[in-house]
Structures are given as structure tokens and as C-alpha cells.
Amino acid sequence: MITKYISKKIIVIFFLSIIYPQSLNHVQINLFANSDNLHFLHKNKGGLYTSNEMKNNIAFSHLIAPENAKWINMKVLWRLDKDKIDLYEFSNTSNFERGELKIGSFDPAVLYENNKFSSGSMVFSNNARKIKGISAASKWYNFFDFFEYKAELFHGKFPKQRDYLGGPYLHYKSVLIKKQFNKSSLGFSLQHAVQYGGYNQFNEKIPTSWKNYVDVFFARAADESQPDQDQVYVAGNGLGSFVLFFAKENTEIYFEHFFDDKSGILLNSFLNVKTKNLGDGLLGINYSSERFNVNFELINTRKQSGNQHPPGVDSYYYNGVYEFGWSNKNMTIGNSFIYPNSNRKLIYNIALESMFKNFDIITRYAFAKVYIPYLDKNQNQPVENHRKVISTDNYILLGVNYKHKNKNMTSFQFSKENDLTNFQLSYLIEF
């Protein structure tokens, strides 16, 4: 059934998109040959899909940014599925002299925009539905003409997850630095995210307080009101990354070092810890021109600080208190190839797009080696056979986009993943 609340929201959105000529609206009709979930068709779709089945749907997107209206910069995504309206993203950004305030679905500030063939950031990709909350971000400030910097702080709450009475809170903060040269740019960022509060694995309420929030903010050990593991280590389920970015003309190079605890943090002189998982993360190279777009990525999550805890078995995306881990509605929030229950992989992700006058030809291929996952700490005993490959996965996609004269587009994609195949036919309307 379509609720009156959702229906009223959609009516308001249509009204705003009509009265403001600065709005950009899309409608995309998606048809599938079967219900099989294949990575290249299912992942990194901005939260459009949340289950393990592919379903025919009509997706709507609206970007509303009236001229000279600093308070309104709205983004709305919703889906029509049979008799159901699914409003899965809604946010508004208000601009001020010294920064901006975002309310709604959270999309963090970044050094660079992930290209459409990327598997996604290790912390926040475009894979799962975004967490709703409020964020405050500064504008880019100039530091004595040497570099520019920006900071962001977010507080939100996860929706209810499977087998849990309620979702945890989300704390996030980041600092970004960039330097512009003649024809190139260099950037660095640090981001830190923490799940805390909500309910534990026994569906017992986890108390929250300002003291608890301070412990979360500074990654300190929790008090006796928190789960046992948080009292021994740090408050909440914390993770984050360091990002290095370089761009020159048509080429971009990016490296994201992921950490799930202190053993993966690089600032050993400040925090008195040593990096044990150096090399884990995402390395990517992208080249784009008027005729070609080539992207290569290497994702490595095998090391995890070693096969014995402490300090190893970092258990990326997995957490004993929040067993759904770093995910939202069964979709990984971070890199789309890594899952809480399958978190040790070596992946090669390659894409080539050839662009002609009215046609785009897309070829994608990914190959993954899967290793024994690190979940619990194995009673602090070494995890055996940690170097053994337990399976391999092959991902293939062949696609054609035809661009009509009226800016509409027809797309056909064939995808094969191991023994499964699926087809997608889409028609995109812009108005």
C-alpha cells in the first residue's frame, strides 16, 4: 500500500521540480530477464536495490537547486515497484558564508568523485542506502596559499536492521587537504566512522550519554555501561581510512588505506601504534578522454594486521555487537566487493568505455580470490590456512548505450557472474 505520508512527499517534489526551471529530473525504466542478483547490475546503484533479487522497477531522481536560493539544494531518489513507492534518498544542503549544513541522507565530502566504474570507497561507497542524519561542513579554506583544507562532522542513526530491535547511531568526521599545481592536483584525507548505541547482539539496549559520545569521538575505551569489548578496546565499532589522490590532465590515481582498529592507523608517532595492515585497501587508476574511459582497481583486504589477535584479525566490516556489520539493509556501506561475512579478498576490477557519436560500448571484468574470512578473534589463537584461496569469482559485463537526440538513452547490459547470467534493458528519460 502507498502511505499518505510518502504520497504527499512525492506530490511536493513534483511541484518543486515543475516550478523551478533549475531542477534536473530523470525517470529510468529497468527491466531484467530474471531475478538473479549479479554484482555489476546490482551493486553501487545508490541504494536502489536492497534485497538479493533483481526486480523490474521505475526509478525517479530529482535535483532541485533554484538560482540564488542558498537554502535549497535538494536531492530526491524514489522507486516505483508494483503498487509501492519507495523513497530511498532525500537530502537538502543549505549554504552559508563559512560552510554548509546537510540534512537527510548522508553523502560525505570527498577529494574526488568516484567514477561510475569504481567499486567504491572503503568507508562510504554508492552501494547501500545512505544513513540519515545531519552534517556540518566547512568551506574550503586557504592555508597561507600553501594548501586548502576542509572539515566535516556528521551525526545520524541507522534504521532498524534484520534481527535487531533498532539501529545504532553513526558518528563520522573527516579532514581533507588539497594542493593545486599548474595542471595537476594532490590531495589527502582522513575519515573516521563509528557505530555506537542502539542494541547489542542479544537485543539489549546500549545506553548512550554525552560521556559516551566523547569516548566515541576520541576513540577511547568505553565505561562499564557499554559492551565488554568496548570497555577493553574503544567505544563503538570504529573504522576509517586515509586517502591519497593525484590528478594530472586526464589521469587520476587514488589510494585508500583502510583501518578497522588502531593496528591499521598510520600515525604511529602520535598514537603510539604501528601499522600492521599496510597495503590493505583500494588502489585505482583512471584515464578519460573524449573517446575513451579506462579504469583499473586493485582491492586487497587479506592482511588485516596478521592471522592472530592481538593485534591481528581486524575483521573488516564485521562486529560482534552489531552482527550486520558495516552494512545497511543487507548491502555493504563500503566497498561493494567486501562483505562482513566475506572480508578477505584480492580483487582486480577493470573497465573500458568507448564513446562514439550516439553509442557507448562498455566492457567490464573483475576477478576475485576469496580467502578465509576473519570474523571473531578465534580465542586469540592463530587462524589456520589463512593464505589458502577457498574460492574464486569472475564478473563480466558487456553493455551498449544509445543516446537519442532528445537526451534520452536506451541501455542494454549483459552480465555473467560465475554460472549465473542476467540481462538488463533500461530507458532513461531526462526532463
pLDDT digits (tens, 9 = 90+) for 69-79: 788 888 989 88
Q: Is the peptide bond before 382 cis (omega within 30 degrees of 0)?
A: no
- For cell 552501494, what's the residue? 127
Q: Under a CB-based contact definition with an 8 Å cutoff, are residues 391 and 418 in contact?
A: no
Mean pLDDT of 319-342: 94
pTM of the model: 0.91
Interval 146-164 mean pLDDT:
95
Q: Name the E strands within 215-310.
A: 237-248, 251-259, 281-288, 292-300
Fill in the amino acid letter for 152: E
How many angstroms separate the CA atoms of 70 and 59, rounded? 27
What single DSSP character describes residue 189? E
For 231-358, strand residue ranges (E) read 237-248, 251-259, 281-288, 292-300, 327-328, 331-332, 345-355
* Mean pLDDT to the nearest integer, 217-226: 91
| DSSP conformational letter for 385 | T
Residue 281 Rama label (left phi>0; alpha psi -120 to 50; beta): left
Around 404, how many Cα atoms within 13 Å sit in the side-chain half-sphere? 10
> pLDDT band at 277, cuts 50/70/90?
confident
Pick from 37-51, 93-107, 203-217, 261-275: least confident: 261-275
Identify the pLDDT of residue 264.
55
Residue 301 and residue 189: Cα distance in Å, rounded?
20
| Cα distance between residue 126 and residue 429, in whole Å | 22
Name the fold adopted by 4-430: Porin (2.40.160)
Q: Is the pLDDT of residue 10 over 60?
A: no
Between 3 and 77, whose confidence is greater?
77
The alpha helices in 43-184, defined as continuous H runs, are: none
- Higher pLDDT pick, 261 / 3: 261
Neighbours of 387 (CB within 10 A): 9
- Residue ranges of the domains in the chain? 4-430
What is d(CA 242, CA 264) in angstroms, rounded to the nearest whole number?
10
The four Cα atoms 367, 327, 236, 173 give a dihedral, to 10 degrees, of: 80
